[in-house]
Amino acid sequence: MDHARSRREWKRAQRSIPGGVNSPVRAYRSVGGTPPFIASARGARIRDVDGNEYIDYVGSWGPMILGHAHPKVLAAVRAAMKLGTSFGAPTPRESDLAEAVRRAMPSMEMLRLVSSGTEATMSALRLARGVTGRARILKFDGCYHGHSDGLLVGAGSGVATLGIPGSPGVPKAMTDLTIVAPYNDLAATRAAFERWGGEIAAVIVEPVAGNMGCVPPVPGFLAGLRTLCDEFGALLVFDEVMTGFRVARGGAQKLYRVKPDLTTLGKIVGGGLPAAAYGGRRDLMRRIAPEGDIYQAGTLSGNPLAVAAGLETLRLLEAKGVYEALTTTAKTLASGLETLARERGIPFCTASVGGMFGFFFHPGPVESFAQAQQSDAARFRSFFASMLESGIYLAPSPYEAAFVSLAHRPRDVDRTLEAARKAFARSIRAR
């Protein structure tokens, strides 16, 4: 593949943008090489400025569940755009979107629209602290909940990819209020509650971890968190920015039958445009201003373009067989990759939940961030580079989940597995 124009764009970007990117993991620091600069996308494929086409398993980091540039979503956005792009005032369609979310996730009795997942989690935790009168938050190692102060401790995603333990600029006083336990470890979580129980406002968790790779909860973990929160008077917050409408129409909370007090959403709820939400029990959400005393605001919250894209996306996801199709595609791909690797004696394991999947160069199982960090980084880099040159677009990090869409077809999976066959063979020769 020719990447000459991407290389020129990369040099140009670095003169004006820190690291040449507007979100750190895009910089390809952990895999090397020049990131492709994307010109367009449609369906399951993206095309870079050099004209190279790739089968896309990043999907804008999750929201493109229908595939890129879905004609009905584009039509909905065009129709909304003709009426104006932003009003800073209430619109009927904001209520339409809130009601659509409530129908799918009954635990969200009331919700507030915001513009990003970071904003949603930050606001939900402010609410939890305000309601409980407590200051501490318990999170899990390798789970990423946005870049707000206090949540970068033990974070996955780009923080893990770049090897950054936290971040300068975050006051120690904030990080001191964050307790970190190993994901999937109920005993360690109980020990934390035994020590700080009366000070913990909330537990926040990715119900399926997607920022250390794809790591599902072990049986009983989420239910155990619900029990601990009830026992110690803390709130349970499910960060479903990634899993909401991705693993099931009702999110991971429906799939695993555990009801959180608060939920955060993003990605799919905006249909690929900047939108997110947080919500939960009515008595909690009524504490949000102007109805209550806990303040949160946003000029572009409920932006009409994002609301239109989100509404149309959620409508299309109501079709029969949608989640069965996503699950089948992800499972077929994940199991195919694992079979190919094991046939060549390469330590490798996979996981998939609904329309998300992940893999590790590790014999498995991987149930925690510590185990994810033991995977073979050199093999991942070799595999990633080979797949990219074969036209398969994966996240440039071993600590990110991958995503399928309804636009991915069996021929896309077959082509991906054929590329993987060659990539595994090259990784053996490279060693």
pLDDT given at position 161? 44
* Topology at the third CATH level for domain 4-65+320-430: Aspartate Aminotransferase, domain 1 (3.90.1150)
pLDDT mean over 10-27: 93
Q: How far is 137 from 235, CA to CA, in rounded Å?
A: 10
β-bridge partners, 276: 114
**Tokens, residue 354:** 């609904």
pLDDT given at position 162? 44
pLDDT given at position 25? 87
Residue 153 reports pLDDT greater than 80: no
Phi, psi of 184 (to 5 degrees): 70, 15
Query: Which residues form the catalytic set?
Result: 144, 239, 267
Tell which phi-psi region holds residue 178, choosing left (phi > 0), alpha (psi between -120 and 50) or beta.
beta
**With contact defined as beta carbons under 8 Å apart, do 181 and 234 qualify?**
no
Average pLDDT, the chain: 94
**Tokens, residue 261:** 């007090």
pLDDT mean over 326-345: 97
Q: What is the pLDDT of residues 190-245, one digit of tens each?
A: 999 999 999 999 999 999 999 999 999 999 999 999 999 999 999 999 999 999 99
Tell which phi-psi region holds residue 104, choosing left (phi > 0), alpha (psi between -120 and 50) or beta.
alpha
pLDDT given at position 29? 86
pLDDT tier, 163 (very low <50, low <70, confident <90, very high otherwise): very low
* Residue linked to tokens 């507030």: 112
Q: How far is 82 from 70, CA to CA, in rounded Å?
A: 19
pLDDT tier, 429 (very low <50, low <70, confident <90, very high otherwise): low
| 159 vs 203, residue with greater confidence | 203
**With contact defined as beta carbons under 8 Å apart, do 157 and 400 qualify?**
yes
pLDDT given at position 167? 61
> Domain 71-316, CATH 3.40.50.300 — does that match?
no
Residue ranges per domain, the chain? 4-65+320-430, 71-316
Type of residue found at 107? S
Residue 170 reports pLDDT greater than 90: no
Question: What is the reported pTM?
Answer: 0.94
| 427 vs 389, residue with greater confidence | 389
Residue 160 reports pLDDT greater than 60: no
- Tell me which residue of 325, 335, 319, 322 sits closest to 410, measured CA to CA: 325
Q: What is the pLDDT of residues 234-283, one digit of tens each?
A: 999 999 999 999 999 999 999 999 999 999 999 999 999 999 999 999 99
pLDDT given at position 151? 75
pLDDT given at position 357? 98
Cα 327 from chain centroid (whole Å): 17
List all residues 6 or more positions away from 333 whose beta carbon is below 8 Å from its beta carbon: 352, 357, 404, 413, 416, 417
C-alpha distances (whole Å) from 323 to each of 55, 316, 356 are 20, 11, 11
> What percent of the chain has a predicted confidence (pLDDT) above 70?
95
pLDDT mean over 44-63: 98
| 32 vs 261, residue with greater confidence | 261
Q: How far is 34 from 36, CA to CA, in rounded Å?
A: 6
Q: How far is 425 from 37, CA to CA, in rounded Å?
A: 28
**With contact defined as beta carbons under 8 Å apart, do 121 and 204 qualify?**
yes
